[in-house]
Structure 1
Amino acid sequence: MGTVISADGTEIVYKRAGSGPPVILLSGGPGDSSGEQPLAEVLRPFFTVFTYDRRGRGQSGDTKPYSVERDYEDLAAVIAEAGGSAGVYGSSGMGMIGLEAAAHGVPVSRLAMWEPPYIVEGARRAVPADWGDRVAELIAAGRSEDAIQYWLVEIVNVPVEYVTSMRGTPFWAGMAASAHALVYDAAILRDFSVPARAASVSVPTLVMDGGDAALPWIRQGVQEVLRILPAGRHHVLLDQAHDVPPEIIAPVLIKFFEE
């Protein structure tokens, strides 16, 4: 474990494992980087794998005021610690954040994304661009658990009955404690539309999905971002759900990041 100091002076805590070319695993949502550790363990024989708590999460700092540029500076600080350039992998919305970082000039050498949930108009219920404001309102009213439910049901599109069954679990309590971090993700992701600036991302970018097992609206979003990316390529992991196991996705990531 180590720390880097971001451009605004915020301390960012990271973990390093393995040896070889650097690869950074992005984490997000209302949680720290612990969820990325299983994949890090599978990749560590091949790469120097970095995971880090994004600001406002886990052990990292949270200097105010926040802006999306701070997130890109934090990733850049970790990449600097890794040697100045690194491969980046993000699952779901974290892939979208990795793409945004690359578009903003962060020195990403290669980018891999698993089922980025871009929304093509008409494919599913729209996400309001200001959804972070609603999260902030609920938190300010002392309703952090309701903020988590709003995010899962209205933004992530998880069935309400599944979310209800999660309430009262330790996992749920952990998310509620870091609900404020969703406001930061909302500032980057906004309405989940494919950004036109994706056309400026010239680094090799691997976009993956589960084929017929993927939700139709996710597949539409994947196809749209691939249409825009100058160096995008597609890979299907047949019959894999959105929560793909590390041992299934790792061989594809190893091949891509070793090229």
Structure 2
Amino acid sequence: MNAQFTTSSDGTELAFERLGDGPPVLVTGGALSTRAAGVPFARELAGLGLSGVVYDRRGRGDSGDTEPYAPVREGEDLAAVAAAVGAGGEESECFAFGMSSGGLVLLEAMAHAGAALSRIVLFEPPFTGAVGQLQDPVRVARLTELVSEGERAEAVTYFLSEIIGLPPQAVEGARQSPAWEEMKKIAHTLCYDTTLLGDSTLPEETLAAVRVPTLVLSSDASTPVLQDAARATAEALPNGEYRTLPGVFHQVPPEELAPVVQDFLMS
């Protein structure tokens, strides 16, 4: 697949691809993912009459990066990709889907970057502080230290085990997977995700500024904390709706997820 490029407001070059010919849905990935991770879901959307637009968040894949990092920059990135595929122009509607911390990018884009999106979908935005599980600043500091020292493998391992809380066998499975080398390449962006999340409490002013219809989804196999955080996010949004779907931990198969998303976006 050949990438197209657009430029964010701070000059950062962003790589994206569009699959399908229907109304665009910007697929925004979570931690440790490049645009490739969103391709199966984008293809499912394309088969349902939409088009899936996958892009590399700054610092990942074929996109550039510009210091210093700030959450609003990622919101501006998404707004730039939306504009590149016609949002606010010839396209009558443009939508977006945010996976995990990708959902936080969507909220930034809507509240602070003026993205021209008609409806959005968030999958398990990790505002676990809303239900009592705050992001641990000590662990975040240790992650930042590992990244600054160039210890990429250790940083990814620490993120998966100590911040996400995956069991040892799952972490070892990640280390043995074909995606491990790509994860190490973008380990520095883990600090971007923790910065986006803050202390993991609900950003009430940001949520209040997101007026478009928003569907917040979770998997029935995710932890109760993640499910409750998704529900709390929906309740805090002016036009939020919550649903849980059959899946595995922090994931629903693309073929099951896409019809639900399509139905909401086109309703």
Determine helix, strand or coil for the equivalent of 1:50. Answer: strand
Q: Which range moves more in the overlay, 132-141 or 45-54?
A: 132-141
CA contact (8 A) 1:90 1:114 kept: yes
CA-to-aligned-CA distance 1:10-37 (integer Å, 9 cap, x gap): 1111101111211100013233110000
Of 109, 112, 131 in structure 1, the residue corresponding to residue 118 of structure 2 is 109
The answer to whether structure 1 residue 16 and structure 2 residue 18 are counterparts is yes
Quote the residue 1:30 is aligned against. 32
CA-to-aligned-CA distance 1:47-101 (integer Å, 9 cap, x gap): 1321111111001111222222221111111011121242110122222321232
Letter in 1 for 2:120: L
The 5 A counterparts of 1:210-225 are: 210-211=219-220, 213-225=221-233
- Separation in structure 1 between the aligned mates of residue 14 and residue 247 of structure 2, nearest angstrom: 37
CA contact (8 A) 2:96 2:119 kept: yes
Of 217, 220, 230 in structure 2, the residue corresponding to residue 208 of structure 1 is 217
- Separation in structure 2 between the aligned mates of residue 182 and residue 90 of structure 1, nearest angstrom: 16
CA contact (8 A) 1:97 1:189 kept: no
The answer to whether structure 1 residue 180 and structure 2 residue 182 are counterparts is no
Of 251, 255, 258 in structure 2, the residue corresponding to residue 243 of structure 1 is 251
- Quote the sequence identity (%): 37
The change in CA–CA distance for 1:74 and 1:121 in structure 2 (over 3 A counts) is: closer
The change in CA–CA distance for 1:49 and 1:119 in structure 2 (over 3 A counts) is: same
Determine helix, strand or coil for the equivalent of 1:167. Answer: helix
Deviation, 1:130, is 7.2
CA contact (8 A) 2:127 2:197 kept: no
Quote the residue 1:229 is aligned against. 237
**Runs in 1 of length 4+ with deviation above 6 angstroms?**
none
Letter in 1 for 2:204: A
The unaligned stretches of length 5 or more in structure 2 are: 89-93
Quote the residue 2:66 is aligned against. 63
Letter in 2 for 1:202: R
Q: TM-score when scaled to structure 2?
A: 0.88
Quote the residue 1:43 is aligned against. 45
- Separation in structure 2 between the aligned mates of residue 122 and residue 113 of structure 1, nearest angstrom: 18
- Separation in structure 2 between the aligned mates of residue 246 and residue 168 of structure 1, nearest angstrom: 23
The 5 A counterparts of 1:46-125 are: 46-85=49-88, 86-104=94-112, 105-120=114-129, 123-124=132-133
CA-to-aligned-CA distance 1:106-135 (integer Å, 9 cap, x gap): 2222110122222145644x3125755433
The unaligned stretches of length 5 or more in structure 1 are: none
- Separation in structure 1 between the aligned mates of residue 95 and residue 137 of structure 2, nearest angstrom: 29
- Separation in structure 2 between the aligned mates of residue 66 and residue 91 of structure 1, nearest angstrom: 20
CA contact (8 A) 1:127 1:154 kept: no
CA-to-aligned-CA distance 1:117-157 (integer Å, 9 cap, x gap): 22145644x31257554333112323111111121122222
- Separation in structure 1 between the aligned mates of residue 177 and residue 246 of structure 2, nearest angstrom: 32
Letter in 2 for 1:134: R
